[in-house]
Amino acid sequence: MNIASKLPAVGTNIFTVMSTLAAEHKAVNLGQGFPDFPMNEELTGLVAAAMKNGFNQYAPMPGWPALREAIAEKIHFLYGSNVSPDTEITITPGGTYAIYSALTAILNPGDEVILFEPCYDSYIPNIEINGAKAVPINLVYPEYKIDWKAVRAAVNEKTRCIMINTPHNPTGSVIGPEDIAELRSIVKDTNIFILSDEVYEHLIFDGITHQSILRYPDLLERSFVCFSFGKVYNCTGWKLGYCVAPAPLMKEFRKVHQFNCFSCFTPAQVALAEFLKHRDAYLGLSGFMQEKRDYFTKLMSRTRFTLQPSYGSYFICGTYERISDEPDKELAIRLTKEAGIATIPVSSFYHNGKDDKVLRFCFSKKNETLEAAVEKLMKC
């Protein structure tokens, strides 16, 4: 039987390709964004205790009430915003799911969504499967800053949403107060929604303040803001996150959610509700990951790669003009096969494969993993 694909241009994503190659060639994997070090033992102990204490059945559709209350308290503590745990927070199976559900809640065929490339690879398929049109705007290379003049030129009567991501995957760039001012100016007196991907909320470096949409009531009233526990607590395999939105928008979000996932893994929600009381656990994450970034940067100075600044996330990008002039995807595959080190070509984060000859490295790894990787890269 033939199927008329809703995503005819989509194949196996680059993360699967590179991770499969890494496993096949026993390469050190600095490609896909996941840690290889243990997560917090107290948190895993709380999950085990929740299971032993009988918290093993369906959680309520919006999420475990105590967890939503803990998130609302955290939001007020960090950003000064009052968010209702009952009507404005929904627990989701990961940040990617939250992004998909938010787009599905608001998009209709013919709508347009402005986004910035390079971007996380789920964005455009999420838009297109809802019958809408993605309008990609290139971030200004090499700083990967937003060209707000280009945004203004792209806005029209069909513009339904603007998507932002800070700290940014794959580049590690971050949005500043001047970007918030531009965004505020563009959406004022319009019906344009904002979808803010903030899964690396607590992984921001060098004393920079995270410009969460949750700080700005006038922007939050038109926004879906998506988060990930997996990125915060180094448990990406849990696939647990949440979305924050004003009640009228969350009502539509939950309509999608209740007929898709409905509810998420209960023991982890019970555990996180307790663990979020320990503010030091998330407040200390930036310093911990910044040490990883700095150590990897120091190690990489011994190679012929040129690293670009990274102000947040798990990632740092590097150019290789002193090594090769081949396309980034070809180099990434060759490095995996011949040098035993897996990376991600940044061209994979552009819909048209734009190639600035940049590779993305994940530094959220044990020091010995980073050391082993750089030993191999020094031979390139």
CA distances from 313 to 223, 288, 350, 375 (A): 22, 12, 19, 24
Tens digits of residue pLDDT in 215-269: 999 999 999 999 999 998 989 999 999 999 999 999 999 999 999 999 999 999 9
Say if strands 306-307 and 315-319 run parallel, antiparallel, or are unpaired.
Answer: antiparallel
Q: Where are the alpha helices (DSSP H) in the chain?
A: 14-24, 41-52, 65-79, 95-106, 123-128, 148-154, 177-187, 217-220, 229-232, 247-258, 266-275, 279-283, 285-300, 328-334, 367-377
pLDDT band for position 12 (50/70/90)?
Answer: confident
Tens digits of residue pLDDT in 268-293: 999 999 999 999 999 999 999 999 99
% residues pLDDT > 70 (the chain): 100
Q: What is the pLDDT of residue 307?
A: 98
> Domains plus CATH for the chain?
14-39+283-377 (3.90.1150.10), 47-279 (3.40.640.10)
| Coil, helix or strand at residue 164 | strand
Q: What is the pLDDT of residue 318?
A: 98
| Coil, helix or strand at residue 115 | strand
Extract the tokens encoding 117. 């490339």
| Coil, helix or strand at residue 226 | strand
- pTM of the predicted structure, to 2 decimals: 0.96
User: ∠ CA 365-225-18 to the nearest 5 degrees?
Assistant: 35
* Nearest by Cα to 91 from 234, 293, 247, 226: 226
pLDDT band for position 1 (50/70/90)?
Answer: confident
pLDDT above 90 for 15: no
Region class of 161: left (phi > 0), else alpha (psi between -120 and 50), else beta: beta
CA distances from 332 to 320, 357, 361 (A): 11, 10, 11
Mean pLDDT of 102-129: 97
Mean pLDDT of 353-379: 97
Tens digits of residue pLDDT in 312-327: 999 999 999 999 999 9
DSSP assignment of 302-359:
TSS-EEPP--BSSEEEEE-TTT--S-HHHHHHHIIIIISEE-EEGGGGSTT----SEE
